[in-house]
Amino acid sequence: MQKEKDIIDGCLSGSRRDQELLYRRYAPKLYAVCLQYAGNTEEARDVLQEGFIKIFDNLSRYNHEGSFEGWMRRIIVNTSLERYRNRYYLSRVDDIEDVPEPEAEPNTSDFAGLEAYDLLNMIMELPPKYRMVFNLYAIEGYSHREIGEMIGISEGTSKSNLSRARLILQKKVVLLTGVTRKMVNV
């Protein structure tokens, strides 16, 4: 298999073949990210296309430090965020509605039977504002302050959205797996 650096160098020298090779290698993983953020296949397809155009446009700026896949993923996430910001108007919510949280959570082993596609579908079915915050916080690891800056909401709103996203997801998990014994207030 051709080395990642060789493919990048090939792309930079204008080799369409290497560009296609890079796309074929990483597109499936990045498309899954697009689906997580976009919520539907049509938009995910657009994000992937737009994201790869940006990846190729900015490839010369990649300095081979850190994960290349991580670098591409950030571009895809940022592209998703741009589209989200352009599409959805988020009203600032200062008064955070108190969201009940589970007193106990199911153990991760209870979800062992869940397929990745099930999880993806659950995220895709979330309302956009919950989906964005959950992805950025739980999957990407951003803080609420960072998320607030990214999508133009307050930290409190970010926390609120995250809580609601978690509740919705837990409900869906319960429905799918029948794990209810440890779920409280769901």
Partner 1 sequence: MFNREPNIDVVFRNGLKDLEVLPPSDVWENIPPMPSRRSAFKTVTSIAAGIAALVSLALVAGWYLRSNETGTRMAEMTIPSGEQQAVRVSSSPTDAMEESAVHSAPPDDAMTVVRDLNEGIATGPPVVADDQQPLLAGMTGAGRESEESLPFSSDEITVITAGRLTGAGNTAMPELAEVSSRAAGQRFLVGASLSPSVGISPQGQDARLAELMSSESSRPSYTTGVTVGYRISDRLTIHSGIGLASVGQTINEVDVFAGLSDYYAVKSNYLYSVETASGMIRAGNTDLYLTDAGNRVGSLVQGADPSKYNLTQVGSEIRQVFRYLELPLLVRYKVIDGRMGLNLSGGVAYGLLVDNAAYTGQGSDLIRVGHTEGVNPYNISSQLGLGMEYSISTNISFNFEPVLRYYMTPLSDISGALYKPYSLGIYSGFFFKF
Tokens 């999880």 correspond to what residue?
119
Q: How far is the CB of 41 from partner 1 (least distance, A)?
A: 8
Is 128 a binder of partner 1 (CB under 8 A)? no
The token pair at 23 is 């796309």
In the bound state with partner 1, the residue whose beta carbon lies nearer, of 83 and 166, is 166
Is 184 a binder of partner 1 (CB under 8 A)? no
Range 21-50, binding partner 1 (CB under 8 A):
23-24, 27-29, 31-32, 35-36, 41, 45, 48-49
H/E stretch holding 168 = helix 155-177
Fill in the per-residue mask, 86 to 105: x = in contact with partner 1 (CB under 8 A), - = not in contact: ---------------x---x
Burial class from Cβ neighbours inside 10 Å (0-12, 13-18, 19+) for residue 182 reads: middle
d(CA 141, CA 144): 9
Longest dimension (CA), the chain: 59
Alpha-carbon distances, residue 117 vs 35, 113, 120, 157, 171 (angstroms)? 11, 12, 5, 28, 17
Other C-beta atoms within 10 Å of 29: how many?
A: 12
Stretch that binds partner 1, among 69-77, 84-92, 135-143, 145-153 (CB under 8 A): 135-143
Residue 30 near residue 72 (C-beta atoms within 8 A)? yes
Q: How far is the CB of 89 from partner 1 (least distance, A)?
A: 26
Fill in the per-residue mask, 45 to 84: x = in contact with partner 1 (CB under 8 A), - = not in contact: x--xx--xx--xx-xx------------------------
Is 166 a binder of partner 1 (CB under 8 A)? yes
**Sequence-distant (≥ 6) Cβ neighbours of residue 1 within 8 angstroms:** none
The token pair at 114 is 């869940």
Residues in contact with partner 1 by CB under 8 A are: 2, 6, 10-17, 19-20, 23-24, 27-29, 31-32, 35-36, 41, 45, 48-49, 52-53, 56-57, 59-60, 101, 105-108, 111, 114, 116-117, 119-120, 122-123, 134, 137-139, 159, 163, 166, 169-170, 173
